[in-house]
Amino acid sequence: MRPAVDEYSSFMTNVVHEPIEIAHSWLDYVTAWSTVAAALLALAAIVYAVVEAKRNDARIRRERRLYYELSLLQRLSEIIPTEDRSNVLRRQIIGILSAFPGADLPLLRAFAHVREQEVAVARLEAITETFEAKYPKYVSTNRHQAHWNALAYPEPEGGPEWAKEVNEAIDVRLKQL
């Protein structure tokens, strides 16, 4: 064989038979533990990111719902003052109240017969009777018109009942933002 190959073969034969000695210094231990710590820190960061993403998703959904409800209330406050007994406007009011979640606006719901509660119906009747006693010239034989007159007529101590109800619902949602 060639001399370089022979020399390499004899060198490798001697290397293979020598025991391998692994020397660990303190730096090797620090490196290993810092790698483990970095992996745990990365896992913690991933868990934190997932939790924050879910929390932000819930916040965004709540905010979108509030903006949706505020837009319905805005539309309702624009429609009601122009209520002229036309069927189109009544259908719009009923549509908005139907789309509006929850049991807010109980007097308007009782007036429009949209998921009304017995307590609200009784309160609407009481408001109507009080209004008719105060203002006999606005008494109407049409009960629906009598309810509307009672809700729409502004009292001296405040605005119309429907406006108080809508403004209260708006204030509640604005405080939640």
> Mind listing the pLDDT tens digit for each residue in 93-134?
888 998 888 778 998 888 888 888 889 999 999 989 988 898
By mean pLDDT, which of 55-69, 92-106, 152-166 is the weakest?
A: 152-166
In a domain, 52, yes or no: no
Angle at 153 between CA 148 and CA 159, to 5 degrees: 120
Q: How far apart are CA 34 and CA 172, in angstroms?
A: 52
The answer to whether residue 86 scores a pLDDT higher than 70 is no
Q: Residues of the chain with pLDDT > 70: what percent? A: 82
The answer to whether residue 59 scores a pLDDT higher than 70 is yes
In a domain, 169, yes or no: yes
**Residue-number span of the structural domain to which 155 is assigned:** 60-176
Query: Which distant-in-sequence residues (6+ apart) come within 8 Å of 119 by Cβ?
Result: 106
In a domain, 32, yes or no: no
In a domain, 103, yes or no: yes
Work out the average pLDDT over 41-67: 95
Q: Which residue blocks in the chain are alpha helix, DSSP H?
A: 3-17, 26-79, 87-99, 106-112, 118-134, 143-152, 161-176
User: Given this model, what pLDDT does residue 12 score?
Assistant: 62
| Count of structural domains within the chain | 1
What token pair was written down for 162?
């429907």
Q: Which of 111, 107, 149 is nearest to 128 (CA)?
A: 149
Residues in the chain: 177
Tell me the pLDDT band of 69, cut-offs 50, 70 and 90: very high
Tell me the pLDDT band of 48, cut-offs 50, 70 and 90: very high
What token pair was written down for 127?
């408001």
The pTM (predicted TM-score) of the whole model is: 0.66
In a domain, 50, yes or no: no
What token pair was written down for 148?
């509307």
10 or 55: which leads in pLDDT: 55
Which tens digit of pLDDT belongs to each residue from 132-147? 898 888 888 888 888 8
45 or 159: which leads in pLDDT: 45
CB count in 10 Å sphere of residue 14: 9
User: Given this model, what pLDDT does residue 91 score?
Assistant: 83
How far from 59 is each of 66, 89, 170, CA to CA, in Å? 10, 34, 19
In a domain, 3, yes or no: no
What token pair was written down for 96?
């908005």
Q: How far apart are CA 121 and CA 153, in angstroms?
A: 18
Is 162:149 a contact under the CB 8 Å cutoff?
no
